[in-house]
Structure 1
Amino acid sequence: MTAFSTKVLPYPALILFMTFRYLSLAALFTLTCAAVAQEADVAVKTNVMVNMRDGVKLATDIYLPAKEGIEQPGAYPVILTRLPYNKDGAKKLGLYYAKAGYVFVAQDCRGRYASEGTWHWMTDDGRDGVDCAKWIGQQPWSNGKIGMIGTSYVGGTQHAMALEGAPELATVIPVDAVSNCGVQSMRNAGAFEMRFWNWIMLNSAKGSAASQDPATAAVLKEMVDQRFDYLAHLPLRAGTTPLKLAPEYESWLIDAMKHGANDAFWTQNNILENTASYKDIPVYLVGGWYDSWAGNTTANFAALSKTLKSPVYLIMGPWIHGGQAKSSHGQVDFGPEAAMADELAWRKEWYDHWLKGLDNSIGKTAPFATPVRLFVMGTGDGRKTEAGLLKHGGSWRDEQEWPLARTLWTNFYLMEGGAISRDQPTAATAHTSYIFDPRNPVPTIGGNISSGDGIMLQGGWDQKGGPHIWNWSKPLPLSARNDILVFQSEPLTEDMEVTGEIVAKLWVSSSVVDTDFTAKLVDVYPASADWPGGFDLNVTDGILRARFRESLKTEKLMTPGEVYPITIRLYPTSNVFKKGHRIRVDISSSNFPRFDVNPNTGEPLNDNRRVETAVNTLHLDRDHPSCLVLPLIPRQ
Structure 2
Amino acid sequence: MLSRRRFLKEMGLAASTGFLVRNPFNRRTGIVHAQKKPASIWSVDAGEVRVSQGPWTILPAVQPGIHLENLYLRMPDGTRLNAFLYLPENLSRGQKIPGVLNTTPYRNMPRNDSNFARNGYASIFVDVRGSGASEGIPTDEYAPQEHQDTAAVIDWLSKQPWCNKNIGMYGTSYSAFNSVWVAAAIKPPALKAIFVRAGTDIRYTDDIHFPGGAMLMVDNSWAISMFHRNVMPGAPDYDINSQPSVDRWETTPWLIGFLHHQLESPYWHHGSLAPDYTRLTTPTFLAGGYLDLYQNFVPRIMKNSRGAVTMGILGPWHHSMNVPGPVLDWDRIQTRWFDHWLKGKDTGMLREPRVSFYLPRWTRQSFRYAGEITGEWRFLNEWPETVFVPPNRLYFRPDPERPVAEALAMDSAPAQGGGLAELSGPASALKLRYYPATGGNHHSLGPTGTDGYYGLDNRDEDVWGLAFNTPPLREPVEILGFARARLFVSATAPVANWIVRLMDVAPDGTSYLISRGCLNGTHRRSHTNPEALVPGEVYEILVQLMCTGYTFDPNHRIRVVVTNADFPIYWPSPYMMTTTLFTGGDRPSHIELPVLPKLQYIAGNLPILAESILKLGKSERGEQGGDRVQAYDITYDAVRGTHKSFFILGDDTIWCRVKDDDPATASLELSGFTMSEGSTRRVEARVEGSLRSTVDDFILDVTCTLLENKKVVKTRQWKDTVRRELV
**TM more than 0.5:** yes
Amino acid across the alignment from 1:316: L
> What are the within-5 Å matches in structure 2 for residues 106-255 of structure 1?
106-119=125-138, 120-123=140-143, 124-163=145-184, 164-186=186-208, 187-209=210-232, 248-250=251-253, 252-255=254-257
Describe the superposition over 1:316-337 as per-residue Cα deviations: whole angstroms up to 9, x where unpaired.
Answer: 00111122x3334xxxxxxxxx
SS of equivalent residue, structure 1 residue 478: helix
Q: Is the 8 A contact 2:88 2:118 kept in 1?
A: yes
Instruction: Give yes or no for contact 1:501–1:570 (8 Å, CA) kept in 2.
Output: yes
Report the CA distance between 1:389 and its aligned residue: 6.5
- Matched with 2:538 is 563
Letter in 2 for 1:634: P
Does the alignment pair 1:414 with 2:396? yes
Which of 28, 42, 61 is the matching residue for 2:84? 61
Matches of 1:215 and 1:359 in 2, distance apart? 49
1:632 and 2:595 are equivalent in the alignment: yes
Q: 1:483-502 residue pairs with structure 2 within 5 A? A: 484-502=465-483
Q: What CA distance in whole angstroms lies between the structure 1 residues aligned with 2:346 and 2:506? A: 46
Query: Is the CA contact (8 Å cut-off) linking 1:449 and 1:458 kept in structure 2?
Result: no
Match of 1:234 in 2: none
Is the alpha carbon distance of 1:302 and 1:6 closer, same or farther for their aligned partners in structure 2, counting shifts above 3 Å?
Answer: farther
The alignment partner of 1:363 has SS state of: helix
Aligned to 1:268: 270
Kindly state the Cα deviation for residue 214 of structure 1 after the two structures are TM-superposed.
8.6
Q: TM-score, normalised by structure 2?
A: 0.68
| Structure 2 counterpart of 1:235 | none
Match of 1:237 in 2: none
CA contact (8 A) 2:368 2:452 kept: no
Name the residue aligned to 1:540: 515
- Deviation (angstroms), 1:585: 0.8
CA contact (8 A) 1:448 1:540 kept: no
Whole-Å separation in 1 of the counterparts to 2:367 and 2:203: 40
Partner of 2:454: 460
Q: Alignment partner for residue 338 of structure 2, among 351, 354, 357? A: 351
Residue 373 (1) aligns with residue 356 (2): yes
Q: Does 1:622 align with 2:585?
A: yes
* Alignment counterpart, residue 526 of structure 2, candidates 543, 547, 551: 551
Instruction: Tell me the distance in 2 between the aligned counterparts of 1:263 and 1:183.
Output: 12
* Deviation (angstroms), 1:122: 0.2
The letter of the residue matching 2:25 is: I
CA contact 1:129–1:166 (8 Å) conserved in 2: no
Cα distance in 2 between the residues matched to 1:159 and 1:42: 29
Distance change >3 Å, CA 266–CA 635, structure 1 → 2: same
Deviation at 1:401, TM superposition (A): 1.7
Q: Distance in 1 between matches of 2:338 and 2:482?
A: 30
- Name the Cα RMSD after superposition: 3.4
Task: Report if the CA contact (8 A) 2:316-2:373 is conserved.
Answer: no
Give the aligned length. 534
Task: Mark the CA change 1:631 to 1:590 in structure 2 (over 3 Å): closer, same or farther.
Answer: same
2:14, 2:453 → 1: CA distance? 43
Letter in 2 for 1:181: R
**Which structure: larger Rg?**
2
**Kept after mapping to 2: 8 A contact 1:377/1:394:** yes
Q: Which residue identity does 2:551 align to in structure 1?
A: V
Equivalent residue of 1:88, what SS?
Answer: coil
Matching residue within 39, 43, 52 for 2:67: 43
1:383–1:390 Cα contact (<8 Å) kept: no
Identify the residue that residue 47 of structure 2 maps to in structure 1: none
Please state if 1:595 is matched with 2:567. no
Residues 192 and 297 of structure 1, relative CA distance in 2, 3 Å threshold: farther
Q: Does 1:319 pair with 2:317?
A: yes
> 1:531 maps to what in 2?
none
Q: If each structure's helix is expressed as a fraction of its own residues, which one has the higher value?
A: 1
Distance in 2 separating the partners of 1:384 and 1:86:
34
Contact 2:493 2:533 in 1 (8 A): yes
Q: State the partner residue of 1:335.
A: none
2:426 maps to which residue?
427
Q: 1:5 to 1:558 in 2, by over 3 A?
A: farther
The structure-2 alpha-carbon separation of the partners of 1:535 and 1:12, relative to structure 1 and needing over 3 Å to count, comes to farther
Query: Conserved in 1, the CA contact under 8 Å of 2:483 and 2:592?
Result: yes
Q: Secondary structure at the match of 1:396?
A: strand
Contact 2:200 2:296 in 1 (8 A): no
Shift of 1:557: 1.0
The share of aligned pairs that are identical, in percent, is 23
Tell me which residue corresponds to 1:83. Answer: 104
Report matched runs for 1:382-531 at 5 Å: 382=363, 393-404=374-385, 409-417=391-399, 418-428=417-427, 430-438=428-436, 440-445=437-442, 448-449=445-446, 459-464=453-458, 477-481=460-464, 484-527=465-508
Alignment TM-score, normalising by the size of structure 1: 0.77
Quick one: which amino acid aligns to residue 410 of structure 1? Answer: N
SS of 1:265's equivalent in the other structure is: helix
Deviations 1:526-577 (A, max 9, x none): 12xxxxxx32110000111111111122211111110001111110111111
Partner of 2:56: 29
Alpha-carbon distance, 1:162 to partner: 0.6
Match of 2:112 among 92, 95, 106: 92
Q: CA 1:548–1:215 in structure 2 vs 1: closer, same or farther (change >3 Å)?
A: farther
Q: 1:632 aligns to what SS in structure 2? A: coil
Displacement of 1:277 in angstroms is 2.4
Q: Which amino acid aligns with 2:532?
A: L
Partner of 1:15: 25
Aligned equivalents of 1:555, 1:127: Cα separation in 2: 34
* Structure ranking higher in strand proportion: 2
Query: Residues 576 and 59 of structure 1: is their aligned pair in 2 closer, same or farther, counting only changes over 3 Å?
Result: same
1:472 is aligned to none
Q: Contact 2:396–2:584 (CA<8 Å) still a contact in 1?
A: no
Indicate how the Cα distance of structure 1 residues 627 and 14 shifts in structure 2: closer, same or farther if over 3 A, else same: farther
Q: Report the CA distance shift for 1:433/1:346 in structure 2 as closer, same or farther (over 3 A).
A: same
Name the CA shift for 1:391/1:351 in 2 (closer, same or farther; >3 Å): closer
Q: Does the Cα contact within 8 Å between 1:404 and 1:500 map onto a contact in 2?
A: no
Amino acid at match of 1:621: G
Q: Any conservation in 2 of the 1:12–1:92 contact (CA below 8 Å)?
A: no
Partner AA of 2:383 in structure 1:
W
Structure 1 residue runs without a partner (length 5+): 19-25, 217-244, 329-337, 465-475, 528-533, 600-611
AA in 2 matched with 1:427: P
CA contact (8 A) 2:206 2:293 kept: no
Structure 2 stretches of 5 or more lacking a match? 1-12, 29-52, 241-247, 400-416, 600-727
Answer yes or no: is the 8 Å Cα contact 1:415–1:620 preserved in 2.
yes
Cα displacement (A) at 1:196: 4.0
Equivalence for 1:297: 298
Secondary structure in 2 matching 1:171: strand
Tell me by how many angstroms 1:210 deviates: 7.0
Q: 1:413 touches 1:625 (CA, 8 Å); kept in 2?
A: yes
Q: SS of 2:573's equivalent?
A: coil
Alpha-carbon offset, residue 313 of structure 1:
0.7
